[in-house]
Amino acid sequence: MNKPLRRIAIFCGLLVLTLLIRDNWLQYVKADNLREDPKNRRVTIARYSTPRGDIVVDGDPITGSTESSKTGLNDLKYKRTYKNGPMWSPVTGYASQAFGANQLESIEDGILTGDDDRLFFRNTLDMITGKERQGGNIVTTLNAAAQKAAYNGLKAQGGKGAAVAIEPSTGKILALASYPSYDPSVFAGNSNDDAKAWKDLQKKYNPNDPMLNRALRETYPPGSTFKVVTAAAALENGLYKTADENTKSPLPWTMPGTTTQLKNEGSIPCKNATMRIALRYSCNTVFGKIGADLGNDKMLAEAKKFGFDAEQFTPIRSSSSVFSDDMNQSQTALSSIGQYNTAATPLQMAMVASAVANGGKLMKPYMVDKLQSSNLDTLTQTEPQELSQPLTSENAQILQSMMETVVKEGTGTKAQISGATVGGKTGTAQHGVENSENPYAWFISYARLSDGSAPVAVAVVIEDDQANRDDISGGGLAAPIAKSVMEAVINAKK
């Protein structure tokens, strides 16, 4: 071969080699990026070419799929539908052709679309038999009656708020409600109407922020409900060994390092009160002084055992609840009555009640019971998992007796349930600069049956800007909702 031809052959060979390298780079190295590129329309078309699997509650789907409108340029065949969308959206999240997905719809998207590797054999079998590929299902731990009671209670109240119910022995989430809420169906498609519905739900245009999941993502000052954590810290650290010994709590009590007296609400018997009496009447001085006496480190350690200062994954992520570090004694005192920097999600406070009800053992909260293939075979099953032990069983029993006194003859009497023993704690948390805005109304509780089991623990928070300030209390606004949720769970077990 002469020299010019050899050069041309080498050049052509290099071109072919370059093309092969480029082709392999695109097919293997860049394949995932190209497949997930939002500009790759074929992936989007394939995603919506078949119905999604369902999210299931009590054996019934709360989601569905329907064929999209053929008008315009929409080439996506199926869109998502929801049953009682506003009630269930804090659980399901949304799946939209135009705006993507979040919460369970996003976290388990592979299962619902049928793309998950765990569905490979099912999909292969369907391909061989000529059956259209189908997505799998998410079976939740939710209790439909409890969710309905929680949502309807919040809706009837008319302000903003959230409610969470947990099965203490397992950590199963039985209810997760937020109000105001939204219907994910109204923007599930890709039309101008869907775009307008989405815009109308954004906080910028809707100050009620209906898409905020208040049960998991909003933190509130927990007010006096946090006194349950403070009582637990006192018992666990041996500051007080029983519910009925007198505490060293003078009245008035000036916070250490200040000239400021910590006030109680009204004329209540708080001087050297026992912890039982102090929880019954919600004495700020008693629990504030307990926090100051224990100090920041011990209070923080106990709060962390209940789940504070850590995100929770249910699998939907919950914001971290807060109990601060590096506080002086007076700041620790205020934080120990649920004020200052202390902030908690409704999920977190349901976890507090759950741990007390479960003999001091805190179970990891979760809302997905199992994942199924399209033919209902179980792919994965969630097993209950212990998260921590905030209390010994002996101290848990002491705290149970204190919380049950609150409901029997204290501020939580509206949560009493015939045939069950209810323990609870009310809270009215300050809100705004110098407490200028309407306070938040809290109630945390659990119910025990005659066989000793505790099937449910609940937390409810209400924020109502329009209510008469004097009418706002945890016992008045939040406790009746908690009661209805607990009754729904108890009745479902009968």
User: How high is the pLDDT of residue 61?
Assistant: 97
User: Contact, 346 vs 215, CB < 8 A?
Assistant: yes
User: How high is the pLDDT of residue 432?
Assistant: 45
User: How high is the pLDDT of residue 32?
Assistant: 61
Structural domains of the chain in order of their starting residue, each with its CATH number: 42-140 (3.90.1310.10), 223-374+383-492 (3.40.710.10)
Q: How many CB atoms lie within 10 A of CB 219?
A: 18
Residues 188-215: pLDDT tens digits? 999 999 999 999 999 999 999 999 999 9
Point out the residues of the chain with pLDDT beneath 50. Answer: 71, 431-436, 465-472
**Unique residue bearing structure tokens 């203490």:** 168
pTM of this prediction? 0.89
The two structure tokens encoding residue 442: 């809290």
User: How high is the pLDDT of residue 365?
Assistant: 98
- Which residue in 206, 231, 256 sits closest to 360, CA to CA? 231
Q: What CA–CA distance (Å, rounded) separates 115 from 308?
A: 36
User: How high is the pLDDT of residue 68?
Assistant: 80
Q: What CA–CA distance (Å, rounded) separates 57 from 194?
A: 27
**Is 336 marked active-site?**
no
User: How high is the pLDDT of residue 147?
Assistant: 98
In sequence order, the 6+-apart residues with CB closer than 8 A to the CB of 5 are none
Q: Say which of 185, 224, 373, 473 is annotated catalytic.
A: 224
User: How high is the pLDDT of residue 448?
Assistant: 97
User: How high is the pLDDT of residue 36?
Assistant: 60
User: How high is the pLDDT of residue 441?
Assistant: 92
